[in-house]
Amino acid sequence: MYIRLDADRPFSPVGDTEEEEKRKKQEGALFQTAAIQEEEIILGKKLGEGEQGCVYQGQWRGRAVVAKGASAKEEPTLFLTEFMEGGNLQEFFEAKGRAWRPSLLLVLQWARDLARALCCLHSHTPPIVHRDLKPCNLLLSASGHLKLADFGLSRVLGGGNETSTYTMTGVTGTLRYMAPEVVRCEPYNQKVSEGILRPAKEVDIYSFSLVLWFMCTGEMPLRSCSHNDFVMAARRKQRVRPPLYRILYKTLADLMARCWDDSSLARPSALQILGELEAMNPPDPLLPAASPRPSPSSPEYYLN
């Protein structure tokens, strides 16, 4: 049996049990059912192998796909996803070389694509938090558009229960893109005062800002920081951010600064971010640097 996972409309297996049907109703219309027959698939070269099975490149009705094997008790199952010819964003930059930088228009296109993906996840009922935004989890289509992948660490929140409390462990995701409250293993979606909740979705917003910095500079943010540096700085509530003087478009730099605010409650929503990105009309040539070069002792320059 083959299960199709379309890029725009994810699917789940045919023949759902009563428990699976109940789960789908709770998760909303994001998951729908569709299966395709074995004879419709042409498997190509093997791309990789993991604990859950093998990954192949293939063709389905003339469309390039990736077929991912899954463990099954009764029969083998392959999940099909769109084949992203551009690879992941990190590999794309590495292939271009250290001196290459994307145009501001291309950065805005990528940022808008990612913001749309977060809008889809965060506005779902109940909300979905990705929890592992980073360049290697962002795939590029043949046309250069960006799509979000790898939902292995994602979580469906609360089932509509806004008072639910969760805790993210510090081992979830990649430290340099991780919100400081996550590194500190603080509870999230927790009532911090009367009528105010700590919104778990905002951990994705923090990661978005670090990914955006990478898009603009082509460099790993805070590359000189070790694992222990991140952990100790988060515990001491020391501000660890990449320098904003590297971002030449001031409007974009200002958005980054708000997205990586120390307070999760102060960060904009994905919908707000998308609105601001859609409204941006960058000048040509670019504006001067967003801020003067900080001294090594300034908080923004800490450990970088």
Q: Please identify every residue annotated as catalytic.
A: 132
Phi, psi of 61 (to 5 degrees): 55, 40
Q: Which of 276, 290, 248 is nearest to 104 (CA)?
A: 248
Query: SS3 for 246?
Result: helix
Which residues, 6 or more positions from 52, have their beta carbon under 8 angstroms from its beta carbon?
68, 69, 70, 71
* β-bridge mates for residue 63, sequence order: 60
Residues 91 and 56: their CA atoms lie apart, in Å, by 19
Residues 227 and 250: their CA atoms lie apart, in Å, by 30
In the chain, which residue ranges form alpha helices assigned H by DSSP? 18-27, 89-96, 104-122, 180-183, 202-217, 227-235, 250-259, 270-279
Query: Please, what's the largest Cα pairwise distance for the chain?
Result: 64
Strand intervals (E) in the chain: 2-4, 11-12, 32-33, 35-36, 41-50, 53-60, 63-70, 77-82, 128-129, 138-140, 146-148, 155-156, 166-167, 187-188, 191-193, 196-197
Which tokens belong to 303? 């450990």
Q: Which of 60, 103, 101, 106 is nearest to 83 (CA)?
A: 60
